[in-house]
Amino acid sequence: MKRSKAVTYMIFAAILWSLGGILIKLVRWHPLAIAGARSAISALVILAYVRKPKFTFRADQLLAATFYAATVLLFVSANKYTTAANAILLQYGSPVYIAIFGSLILKEKAKTADWVTIVLVISGIFLFFLDKLGPSSLAGNVMGVLSGVAFAFLIIFLRKQKDASPIESTIMGNILTALIGLPFMFKGGPDLIGWVGIILLGVFQLGLSYIFYSTAIKHLTALEGILIPVIEPILNPIWVFLATGEKPSVWAFVGGTIILTSVTLRYALPNLATKMNRTNL
């Protein structure tokens, strides 16, 4: 696959991911039930695409599946207990965790500029917790941070399978999530609009998006795997605001701006400048 095609796939995945906030808000159900039902549908979609999955049950595949389940469970829960903007912007601390742990696991060393970015991102995350939060909002913000950590490890272990087939990890992760969410599905159920939301979440926001993502990540670096989809944390709260009027607090807005700006300035712009120089040559 050409690099340009891989980048395009990554952008498609980010656009589909960005629908998560608004669709999750539509479903009135326990967050773990939503995550489980969404993943059950997603597993069927990805299985239909793969047809003959290759489950090796090796450490990288199992770890990626585990962190996949943790990512989606925590993200859905965060969306239920805090604003969609908080949930996605806190998750976007992922490049920091990749810079830290990627050097240990993938042998991709972090530079001085990476550590400066890490300090800025941590500062931005801190601002989210300056609001007068109730217990549920605080819990939602913590889940958002943990979702970012899990997402970072997911990308790292998907990337470690670049010479194999990482998409099987997403299938296993979806099955694991569905099993974890199963007991909560018997506690009531969503209305018709809620079921439409769950179907859209499973088929498009999670299923199709991870087909694009797991295909593209084999041809990109781990940091590119989180930085190219920068469109997601921008679009996600916009969709929610347009549909529900929900907006981030002032401190969350400032913190989110610091996170996105520092990550973009450190990783996205230098890579773009390098590509432009190569093109000019």
User: What b-and-e string marks burial along 44-58, b requiring 16 or more CB atoms within 10 Å of the CB?
Assistant: bbbbeebeeeeeeee
At 128, give phi and psi (nearest 5°). Answer: -65, -25
Nearest to 42 by CA among 203, 184, 274: 203
Query: Could you tell me which residue, 70 or 119, shows the higher pLDDT?
Result: 70
Give the pLDDT score at 237.
78
pTM of the predicted structure, to 2 decimals: 0.79
Q: Is the pLDDT of residue 269 over 90?
A: no
pLDDT band per the 50, 70, 90 thresholds, residue 279 = low
Q: Is the pLDDT of residue 135 over 70?
A: no
pLDDT band per the 50, 70, 90 thresholds, residue 102 = confident
pLDDT band per the 50, 70, 90 thresholds, residue 70 = very high
* Full domain range(s) for residue 212: 3-280
Report which listed range, 150-154, 199-203, 221-225, is most confident. 199-203
Q: How far apart are CA 38 and CA 194, in angstroms?
A: 11
Cα 267 to chain center, whole Å?
18
pLDDT band per the 50, 70, 90 thresholds, residue 183 = very high
Number of domains in the chain: 1
| Residue 61 vs residues 18, 110, 156: alpha-carbon distances, Å | 26, 25, 11
State the number of CA atoms in the 13 A half-sphere of 267 facing the CB.
28
> What is the mean pLDDT of the segment spanning 46-59?
91
Query: Could you tell me which residue, 149 or 95, shows the higher pLDDT?
Result: 149
Identify the three-state secondary structure at position 258: helix
